[in-house]
Amino acid sequence: MNELLKSSARGQADHGWLQSRHSFSFASYYNPEQVGFSDLCVINDDWVQPGEGFGRHPHRNMEIFSYVLEGALEHKDSLGNGSVILPGDIQLMNAGSGVTYSEFNASAEAPVHFLQIWIVPNQIGIVPGYQQQHFAVERKRGRLCLMLSPDGAQGSVPIYQDVRVYAGLFDGQETATLEGLQARYVYVHLARGSLKINDQLLQAGDGLKIRQTDVLKVHAGIEAEVLIFDLRPNELPEKI
C-alpha cells in the first residue's frame, strides 16, 4: 500500500530568517496522521537567510542527518567539531548521551537550503559522535548511492539503526531499482524536480510511504534529486 504526502500538505513555519516545511509533526506543527514512519521521525525542508541560523541548543538519543541542497551550512558542536557542509556533503551527528550544537548559514549573501532528518537510534546513551562525508555527483547520477547504513557498506556513513538511506539524481531516460524490499518499509522524499516511483508521479517536496513492494523502480525524472529510506517494517517511531 502506497500513501502519498503532497508537498502542499506539509506543515509550514515562517520565522522570517527561516522558512521550513515539515513532512512530519515537529515543534508547534502537529498532524496526528503524520507523526513519523518506521524509525524516521523528522524531515524538515529548511531555507535559512544569509548570516542567520540555529543557535546552540541540546539534543540527545537521536541520529541527526543533514543534507545540503544549495548554499553552505556551518556546524559547531560541544564535541569540538567545526565544519562547513556543502552540496554533495552529508553530516550525521549521533547525539547519544547528549550534545549541544549550532548551525548557521555560512554565507552573508546567499540563502542555504537543506534537509534536516531525524532517525530514532537502536541504542540510547551512546558516546556522541560526528561524521561528515562527500558524495560526488557521479555516484548519484542515474543511480541510487548508499549514503547511510548500519554497517558502513559501500563506503556509506554508519548509523545506529537498521536503516539504509540512498540519494540519486535522475533526468530523462535514467532509471534505477532497489530489490529485496518484501519485508521492509520504504519512504521516498523528492527534494526537487519530478520523478516516478513504480509509476507513481512525485513533484518536489512530495513524500511517499510504501508498505509493501518487491522492487522499487525510479524513472521518468526531470531534474530530480531524491532520497530513499529503506526502513524496518514498523508503523511509527519508538519513543525513547
pLDDT given at position 212 = 86
The answer to whether residue 222 is domain-embedded is: yes
pLDDT given at position 32 = 96
d(CA 240, CA 232): 17
The answer to whether residue 239 is domain-embedded is: no
d(CA 208, CA 71): 26
Q: Does the predicted TM-score (pTM) go above 0.85? A: yes
pLDDT given at position 203 = 98
- Whether residue 124 contacts residue 240, with contact meaning beta carbons closer than 8 Å, is answered with yes
Nearest to 233 by CA among 181, 184, 180: 184
CA torsion, ordered 73, 58, 46, 189, to nearest 10 deg: 100
The answer to whether residue 43 is domain-embedded is: yes
The answer to whether residue 63 is domain-embedded is: yes
pLDDT given at position 110 = 97
- Whether residue 140 contacts residue 166, with contact meaning beta carbons closer than 8 Å, is answered with no
Report angle CA 150, 156, 157 to the nearest 5 degrees.
Answer: 65
pLDDT given at position 105 = 97
CATH label of the domain that carries residue 10: 2.60.120.10
Q: Residue 26: how many CB atoms within 10 A of its CB?
A: 23
pLDDT given at position 143 = 98
The answer to whether residue 236 is domain-embedded is: no
Residue numbers of the domain that contains 53: 2-231
Q: pLDDT truncated to tens, each residue of the chain (240 aa)?
A: 799 999 999 999 999 999 999 999 999 999 999 999 999 999 999 999 999 999 999 999 999 999 999 999 999 999 999 999 999 999 999 999 999 999 999 999 999 999 999 999 999 999 999 999 999 999 999 999 999 999 999 999 999 999 999 999 999 999 999 999 999 999 999 999 999 999 999 999 999 999 989 999 999 999 999 999 999 999 999 876
pLDDT given at position 225 = 98
The answer to whether residue 237 is domain-embedded is: no
SS3 153: helix
The answer to whether residue 221 is domain-embedded is: yes
Per-residue CA distances from 119 to 116, 168, 232 (Å): 10, 20, 12
Domain count, the chain: 1
pLDDT given at position 218 = 98
In which element (H, E) is residue 227 found?
strand 215-231
